[in-house]
Amino acid sequence: MKIAILSRDATLYSSVRLLEAAAARGHEARVLDPTHCYMNITSMKPSIHYMGENLVGYDAVIPRIGASITFYGTAVLRQFEVMNTFVLNNSASISRSRDKLASSQLLARKGIDLPITAFAHNPDNIEDLIAEVGGAPLVIKLVEGSQGIGVVLAETHNAAHSVIQAFMGLNANIMVQEFIQEAAGSDIRCFVIGDKVVAAMKRQGREGEFRSNLHRGGTATLVRLTPQERSAAVRAAKIMGLNVCGVDLLRSKRGPLVMEVNSSPGLEGIEKTSDKDIAGLMIEYIEKNVGKNKSG
């Protein structure tokens, strides 16, 4: 097979591992920077070009589209879909996953347990917003953000009011969520491929840091999932329409709570922690599904 990996950096761990895994299984893979792609949008003969080259003959696309280029990256991916190329995650599901508010609303509608989340636009509603999530401490999140950027823990009522007011003053779209104290600065990343969790790790924030992201200095250890946690992760992935994703869970007194569904999860942390060939499993999934659903 001929596989395109949409990524802005061919030297990233995830890009390198996917290239290695594809080669190990006898496939031809190539990293393409989506910002260097341009498209001819026509019903007669749609095409994608890359630095002057017409991209033809690709059997599958692995999107590794960063949050900063979601709009253009998904447009490039959508063009591959127009050309009936199999895509590991489709453009609509990636766009959906990048909007934390829309994701939360969709998951809640389908019965997935989440941290209590509130959303408002008018500063007059700040007090009610704080009360909706049970008061401080609480978490304030930018609706669009990744790797823990734009996530703030407000430990007191006054701090919560001030931070929310400041974000609203900047016309930033934010969500306010209850703080799950018993999680103790940790979460669980479940790596889902198809209809199963293939690996999981517990991420622990460094001392004094409530965000557990590895990019923020957190550490990772192997974790054994409960059947309830495994089911929640697979259901969340399916609801979001993602074939491959990272589902982040919090362990709470009322059971697992889905915090976020990441459509482009990094491979380094999960592979090194689990000692599993996650990249190889992704290529294997493509092998099994190319041709079944050409539109992705």
CB 64 within 8 A of CB 7: yes
- Of 267, 252, 117, nearest in space to 188 by CA: 252
Please check if 95 is assigned to a binding site: no
For residue 132, say whether it is annotated as part of any ligand binding site: no
Scored b (16 or more CB within 10 A) or e, 210-247 reads: bbbbbebebebeebebeeebbebbbbbbebbbbbbbbb
State yes or no: 260 annotated in a binding site.
yes
Q: Is 211 annotated as a binding residue?
A: yes
Task: Determine whether the annotation assigns residue 212 to a binding site.
Answer: yes
Backbone dihedral region for residue 291 (phi beyond 0: left; psi -120 to 50: alpha; all else: beta): left
Q: What's the rounded Cα separation, in Å, for the pair 33 and 121?
A: 36
* 37/39 Cα distance (integer angstroms): 7
Q: How far is CA 243 from CA 15, 118, 142, 224, 274, in A?
A: 18, 28, 25, 22, 20
Cα-based distances in Å from 183 to 121, 206, 263, 274:
29, 14, 23, 21
84 is in an annotated binding site: no
- Determine if residue 178 is labeled as part of a ligand binding site: yes
Q: Is 162 annotated as a binding residue?
A: no
Per DSSP, the three-state class of 219 is strand
Binding-site positions for Mg(2+) = 248, 260, 262
Binding-site positions for ATP = 141, 178-179, 187, 211-213
Binding-site positions = 141, 178-179, 187, 211-213, 248, 260, 262
Binding-site positions for Mn(2+) = 248, 260, 262
